[in-house]
Amino acid sequence: MPDEARWRLSGWLGPWRAATVEQRRTGLLAAGSAVVGLTVAATCVVAAGPWDSGQRTAERQRAASGAHPGDDGRPGPDPARAPGASPVLAPLGAPLASPSPDTGERSVPVPTGPGLADALEPLLRDDALGPLRAGAVVDVATGRQLYGAKAGTGAIPASTIKIATGVAALSALGPGHRLTTRVTAAPNAPGRIVLVGGGDPTLTARATRGPDGSHPASLRQLADETARALRARGEHTVRLDYDTSLYTGTSRHPILPNENLAPVTALMVDEGRRDDSDRGPADRVKDPAAEAARAFARLLRDRGVKVTGDPRPTGAGDGDDGDRGGDKGGKDAKGDGKDGKGGADGPGRTLASVRSQPLSSLVERMLTYSDNDIAEALTRHTARATGHPASFAGGRAAVTARLKRLGLPVAGAHLADGSGLDRADKVSAGLLAQLLARAAGPDQPALRPVLTGLPVAGFTGTLRDRYGEEAVGRGVVRAKTGTLFGVNTLAGTVVDADGRLLTFAFLTNGSTDPAAAQRVLDRLASAVANCGCR
């Protein structure tokens, strides 16, 4: 969405948020006509694309710089300064209170625990929720939990665990990190080249490009560069191998085979999808790495390079770490290829390479569309960056360690995977709310993509088709969804009726009517947004 349109949207939302609860209830009927304008704005957001559009990029830059809505959009004078509530979340208008003459900070009333309880507990008693129902609300400015209902109880989080995955990856690697796929000339083997997987699940064989000219790493571009490099070497016939040794352990998630996730391997194109989709469930190939290598061979042939035989695997990426409890060995945790097998960082002259979009964009895409393949990849890259084996067990240990290093309450948490598809995952509502609060904190600007990637209620991603009946939360709540059989969760951010930035998490396990449970979770988030709660 162009900035001008976003500030126009801000002009409507700002007074709405500034109104008292009673005034806002009275104004609901009059606001109906404004919904048309919001719908048009939403269309602009969706059409632009959430992870590589100018709208999302500008939002992320403002969040990191501390610029406020109504500013000219340029970064503020102190990039290290923490952003306020509004620039992180959306163009919701400035908080109500004026800046303090002493500190320059804006001060708005803090909701009270009893006030939040009055608004939330009747909803938490709804029969649509399962026997385990938990919630937490945290004040971002202080990091203090304002409300909790079984907030420390571990529950199956489903895809809300991706918030932890994003925080850990950004903390370990930084938002500018990119994933590189390479082609190398095999040492001491003339005429042999190796396609080396860099763990980029967004690598594509399609001729796609974003509206702003950006695009994921392209297998076609890699083939172009490889063909040019081979011609320069006077080589026109090659043998193609492929290397997946960047990752260790099994590629099989406990739920596989499943249309929500491909086998987890360091080399794949288009997430191993058999159709032309780029998100959501889809039939997946059984061996994404082999299929990616075959696609690359076809592209090379199209460019005049003769590729003999069928691509063969090489490297050390085909092992199994046994059960889900731990890794065996792990000395070569980063897959450095020093064993001479042509590992991901090993010997062999690089002929060509392509890089993914920055990690900030991958995290946003993962959260907006609940992309399981990106989530599992980021868990392994977090493991590699912190000296753990790049496997399920290594990722589990690495993510937990990063969260603990950030001072987050991980006691009792069990992060079995990065995507939330594993029902062995256990995370508390308090941890999820604190994760989001930390991503908005003044000392963690690298974590902002966790906030800018959250779907907007009624507008984008997995919340696009929700909040039809929740006018108060529509366009205001930003949250990650989670759904498994009997599991419904929602965790995100709101600015309350007084202009206070809050994070929340609501989880229920054992629900029998997913649609009804989702509606209750949506009402809970809307209640926080609509609440002065004192």
Half-sphere exposure of 396 (CA within 13 A, CB side): 20
Select which of 53, 162, 218, 391 is catalytic.
162
Residue 124: φ, ψ to 5°: -70, -15
Q: Is 404 a catalytic residue?
A: no
Write a three-state SS string for 458-481: CCCHHHCCCCCCCCCCCCCCEEEE
Select which of 10, 159, 428, 526 is catalytic.
159
Cα separation, 41 vs 423, in Å, equals 37
115 by Cβ neighbours in 10 Å (0-12 / 13-18 / 19+) ranks as middle
Q: Is 162 a catalytic residue?
A: yes
DSSP SS3 for 322: coil
Q: Is 370 a catalytic residue?
A: yes
* Lookup result for tokens 């930084």: 174
> Which parts of 91-174 are beta strand (E)?
132-139, 144-149
* Lookup result for tokens 């599992």: 376
Reference 139, options 436, 503, 397, 472; nearest CA is 503
Cα separation, 534 vs 528, in Å, equals 12
Q: Which helix (H) or strand (E) holds 350?
A: strand 349-355
Residue 466: φ, ψ to 5°: -110, 170
8 Å CB contact between 219 and 200? no
CA 3 to chain centre: 24
Residue 86: φ, ψ to 5°: -60, -45
Which residues on adjacent β-strands are paired with residue 501? Answer: 495
Select which of 10, 245, 361, 370 is catalytic.
370
Give the count of beta carbons closer than 10 Å to the beta carbon of residue 114: 11
8 Å CB contact between 342 and 267? no
Half-sphere exposure of 139 (CA within 13 A, CB side): 19
8 Å CB contact between 122 and 523? no
Go through 167-185 and write b for each residue having 16 or more CB atoms within 10 A of its CB, e for each that does not: bbbbbbbebebbbbbbbbb
Catalytic positions are 159, 162, 370
